Each structure stands twice: as structure tokens, then as C-alpha cells.
Amino acid sequence: MPVSFIPTPQELLRFSPEILLSVVATALMLAEAVMKPGSRTKLAATAFAALAAAIALSAAAAADSGPAFSNLLVVDGFSTFFRILVCAAGMLVVLISSNYLKREGHESGEYYALVLFSIAGQCLMASANELIMLFIGLECSSIATYVLAGYLRDDRRNNEAALKYFLLGSFAAAFFLYGISWLWGAAGTTYLTEIRRLLLDPSAGINATVVSAAAALLLVGLAFKVSAAPFQMWAPDVYQGAPAPVAAFLSVGPKAAAFAMFLRILMTVFAPVGAKWEPVLWTVALATMIIGNFAALWQTNVKRLLAYSSIAHAGYVTVALTAMSDAGAAAAMFYLAAYALMNIGAFAVVTHVAGQGERHVELADLAGLSRRSPAMAAILSVFLLSLTGVPLTAGFFGKFYIFKAALDADLVWLAVLGLLNSAVAAYYYLRIIVVMYMHEPSQGLPELPAAAPGIRWALAASAAGTFVLGVAPSLVLDYAVASAPLLR
Amino acid sequence: MDVVLFLVFAAIAVGCALNLVLQTHPISSALSLIGVMGSLAVLYLLLGGEFLAAVQLIVYAGAIMVLFVFVIMLLNAGSEKRPSKKVLRTAVALPLLFTLAGVAAYIMATQVPRTEAVRFGGFTAGPYEVGRALFTTWLLPFEVTSILILIAILGAVVLARKEI
């Protein structure tokens, strides 16, 4: 344990992505005050550049991996993977947001500052190696997203989303914190690796019952953050009410980081008591898939439909977690990367088609999109096919590796039920494609303007990523496989 | 003596916490919160954390509560209107709540050895120890918490200012 309170340069390098993001976020917040109203596009460009630089710094930090700040943080392949994933997702979200905010007349530095702060929190969640640090990272990410969900303050849908998300989220965070205090009571430490060592050591005399109770409390908090059943109720209301780019962000960034936390806690601390977790995770995974997929069948609002689909996808990732193996962890990591690309892409199209004030977010508003804007219809179809899991898209290999990991872990029934669920999911994804291509456009819809450059770039990048991962999954998978065993 | 003090102040803390939730007027809730904070401070003192007890009183019961009461007065918040009674919701929520509390109490009572669970005055946490831990081992959480507070301030500004 270092006694000096001056961090070494090495520690600072390992923490540099978070430092950079926080500094730029603060600068954006202040720059707002001295900027002319016309030059606000620079804010988005700065946020974009900061995220790109954070990716570079994460890669630089990975070259010199190891623990930092008296083991509170650890830079390993796993944390680097998730740092880069959330920063890349953030870049796509910034691209979508810029034009959206201009359209709604609300472009300001605070929005980008909140996005950057939230991503800094998510980077911390990915790299923290200690429960208090994880919790603080989680709160940084959450509080920023509560505000983002209600960013368009004059829109009542936004108010509802923010309030529901805030109240339920704080409640779930309290459970998580309570679980930490139980673990501390049982083990006398909050370091993940230390708790694992004590649990594996029979002479340490850790009470397994108390640890299991703590695990249950932690599970409540984690399941809420990844919107897994039975704590998924908030997701549809929040995604529907929040501004479309924020919904895209919520379904990808905080969720990926929460899964990173989930994986790290599961694979380090609770691996020794894994047999007790398995039935619980099994049930959660199945319930999440069923609730997400079946509820999505009846939705008429596209954002709400995507919210339920996002719940179902959290269920697939939980299947990978249930496997509790390195292959499962790698499959979950790959799936989250694939999901980030295709889901942000789908939300980008929704953002564009919704029009000013998000008036056109019903499924009926997509009718005849193939004639109104053939390119948009085609590209949305690509993302929907990928979400379904059609071969040649990223979604196919994502599901393939998850169910393979489940089969390798002898979870045959869970894999079978998961596959059946994907078949159900195909119905509502394909229904959107049918509506776009076969239905007549309804009367009185305004002409769709040409997509803004930001949206176009975001769509191009996510579509390209979806195809690349669908053809050459090993680009990401090899890295995930190599870094999953490092968790311990 | 320790046990008697513990039982008395633990009972006050739980009673005040219940009252905090059940009261309809914000000021009554705020005053109950002072009761919770105050009795928690006594519990810290019993465990030997005199510095934490003092900080708890000064920061929570002092500064934060004054802020709460000011906000309530400035907003001129009246009594909360109870929504119509949802019988089903209460019928589901209350048993679940008691189950959770019961299971937690049962695990604590059966699994944790009593002699070790509460050690009165069992550790030293004076200003020296707290300060040293905060600025060496726990430096990073300390710094990141300030970012967290900055985010909360920014959030309040975004949601409250007149024009965006």
C-alpha cells in the first residue's frame, strides 16, 4: 500500500481516460457561458474529439496494464474493452445528438458535459476493482443519465421519464449499497480480489449465508441497471419518454458498463459460490427474454418496442452470464459490442424519422418509409435483421456465441428456450420491415428532410460495424476471449 | 450500559425513520430526519467513532438539514395529498417489506456470532485515522466523489434554469 498521496505518473496514465473526460466535460460546461449562440456546433465537435482521445488513452493505458491507486482500479484487457466500447458508443450518440438538439432548439454545452461525465463514470465502472469505487462510478453514470432523460425540460414525456428513472434508480442503488455493507460485514474488505481469496480459503471462516444474502442484494441493483426481469419495469417508460438520442445512449452505454460490473463481480467475488447463483441467474435470464420479447409483440410505439427489445437482449446477455465461464464472459462482451452498433443505428433512424418534437414515433408513421426515404428504410432493415440475428450480421454471431457458451456449460434448456425466444423476436422485427415496405404511407406525413451529416456518419459507421462483425467476428471475439480470463 | 444506550437510540432511529415516511407534511418529515441523524451519531459514538459522530451531527443534522428546511420553506410546500388508497399495492408491498426485514434479521440473528457483531468502542476512527485513510488509500474515491457532486450540481442547473 502506498503511503504517499501523490499518484505516480503510471497511475495517472492508467486513470487518464476518466481524467480527460472529466476535464473536457467541465470545460464544455464553462465554455457554454462565453460562447456565441451561433458557434455551438463546436461543442459537439469537442465532445467527439474528447471521446476519440479517451479511446486512444485507453489503448495507451492498456499497453502498461496493471492496478492503480492502491488496487482500487485495475487496467486489464477486460476494462480496456469496455472503456473503448462505451467511448465509441458515446461518439455515435454525440453524432446523432448534435442535429437532434439543434432541431429541438436546445443545443447547449450541458448536454455534452453530462454525456462525457456519464461516460467517465462508465469507464470507471469498467475498470474499478473495488466495491466502493464501482458504486461511485455507477452513481456518476446514473445521475448524469437521470438528468439526460429529462433534458428537454418543457416536454412532459421527458419529465415523466426522468422522474421515474430517478426514483426507481435511486431505490435500486440503495439495495446495491446495502449489499456492499453486508459483504463488508461478512468479509471485512471491499476489494473484489480480496473477498474472492477469503471465500476460497476455508480457514478464513467467511459465513457463506451472509455472503449469499449480500449477493442477492447486489443482484437487485445490478439487475435494475441492466434492465433484467423482474426489475425491468422502468425501461419502456424511460426509453419512450426520453429524447431519442438519449434513449439510444441509455440502451447501450450504461447497460454495457453495468454488465461489465456484473461480470466482474460475478466472475471474481461470487465464482466460489457460483452454484448458488446459477438457478437465480437462470430464472432471471429466461424471465427477461420472455417478458421482453412477448411484451414487444403488442407495441405500437417504435421507441417503446425498441425498449422491450433492449430488455430481451439483456436477457440473452444474462444467458451468457449464467454459463459462468470464460467463454460466456467473452460471448457477453462480443454481444454487447454488436448490440451497441445495431441498437444505436436503429435509434439513429428513429431520431431522424421522428421529426421535430418527436411527433412521428408510432409504428404507423413508418408505413411506406421505403418510398419516402429508401435509404433510411434499407438501413433500418439491416439493423433490424441484425437484432433478429440473421447470418452475415453482427447479431447472428452474438447469439451464436452466447448459445454455444450456454451449451458448453450444460445449460441445454436455457439455450433451447433462448433460441425459441429469438424466433418470437423475429416476428416483431420483421413486422417493422413489412410496415416499411408493404404498407401505404399514411396521409399528411410531412416530407422527410435529408439526413444531417451527423446522422449519416453514425448510420454509416454502425452499419459498417454490423457487417464487419457479421463477416469477421474474430476481430472483436479474439480480443474478448483473450481478456476474459484476466478477470480473476 | 452500552447495550441499553444502543437499544434506546436504535429504537429512536427506527421510530423516526418510520415517522419520516408516514408524515404528510414535509417539515415534520424533515424534523424526523434530524432524529434519525442524531441517533445514528450516538450509535457511532458507542462504537468508538467519536470523529464520525461529530461529523454526522455537524454535516447532516446541521448543514444538510438546515438546507432542507430552507428549501421546504422557500417552496412553501404544503401537506402532501395522498393519492387514493391502492389496496392491492399495499397488500403486495407490505408483506414483501416484512419478508425482507424478517429474512435479513433472521440471517443476522442466526449466522453472525453475537459477541463479534457489535463491539462497543471496538475500533479507533479519530480525525488522524480518517484523514490518513482518506488521502492515501482512498484518495481516488474521495476525488471522484467531488466529480459526482459536480454532476449533481450540473444536473440541478440543467433542470432548473429558465431557458436552455
What separation in angstroms does the CA of A257 have from each of A81, A222, A262, A476, B71?
11, 10, 9, 17, 35
- Grid coordinates in use for A306? 425498441
ipTM for the assembly: 0.90
Q: DSSP letter at A123? A: H
What separation in angstroms does the CA of A263 have from each of A2, A223, B73?
28, 12, 46
- Grid coordinates in use for A41? 456546433
pLDDT of the residue at A52: 95
- A139, A211, A219: best to mutate for the B interface, most B CBs within 10 A: A139
Contact status, residue A29 vs residue A109, Cβ threshold 8 Å = yes
Residues of A with CB under 8 A from a CB of B: 1-5, 7, 15, 18, 22, 26, 29, 69-70, 72-73, 105-106, 108, 110-111, 113-114, 117, 120-121, 124, 132-133, 136-137, 139-140, 143-144, 146-147, 150-151, 153, 162, 185, 207, 209-210, 213
What ranges do the domains of chain A cover?
A: 12-31+40-487
Mean pLDDT of chain A, nearest integer: 89
Shortest CA distance from B155: residue in chain A: A147
Q: Determine, for residues B159 and A147 on separate chains, whether the beta-carbon distance falls below 8 Å.
A: yes
Contact status, residue A324 vs residue A271, Cβ threshold 8 Å = yes
Cis peptide before A230 (omega within 30 of 0): yes
Q: Which long-range contacts (CB under 8 A, 24 or more apart) does A156-164 make?
A: A157/A240, A157/A241, A157/A358, A158/A241, A158/A242, A158/A243, A159/A241, A160/A237, A160/A241, A161/A237, A161/A238, A161/A239, A161/A240, A161/A241, A161/A242, A162/A241, A162/A242, A162/B159, A164/A234, A164/A237, A164/A238, A164/A241
B135 to chain A, closest Cα gap in Å: 6
The rounded distance, in Å, linking the Cα atoms of A145 and A138 is: 11
| Helix, strand, coil percentages for chain B (3-state, nearest 5) | 80, 0, 20
CATH of domain B2-124: 1.20.120.1200
DSSP-based three-state secondary structure for A214: helix
Say which of A29, A73, A185 has its CB closest to residue B140.
A73
Say which of A3, A108, A140 has its CB closest to residue B148.
A140
Say which of A106, A120, A133 has its CB closest to residue B141.
A133
pLDDT of the residue at B61: 80
The rounded distance, in Å, linking the Cα atoms of A25 and B34 is: 36
- Grid coordinates in use for A405? 457458451
The yes-or-no verdict on residue A2 having pLDDT over 60 is no
The continuous run of DSSP H or E covering A67 comes out as strand A66-68
Q: Determine, for residues B151 and A140 on separate chains, whether the beta-carbon distance falls below 8 Å.
A: yes
- pLDDT in tens for each of the 164 residues of chain B? 778 888 899 999 999 999 988 888 888 888 888 889 999 999 888 888 888 889 889 988 888 888 888 888 888 777 777 666 677 877 888 888 889 889 888 888 787 766 555 566 666 777 888 888 888 888 899 999 999 999 999 999 888 876 65
Lowest mean pLDDT among A307-316, A395-404, A475-484: A475-484
pTM of the predicted protein model: 0.93
CA B115 to chain centre: 26
pLDDT digits (tens, 9 = 90+) for A262-278: 999 988 888 877 788 88
On chain A, the residues whose CB falls within 8 A of the CB of B154 are 29, 110, 113-114, 117, 147
B145 to chain A, closest Cα gap in Å: 7
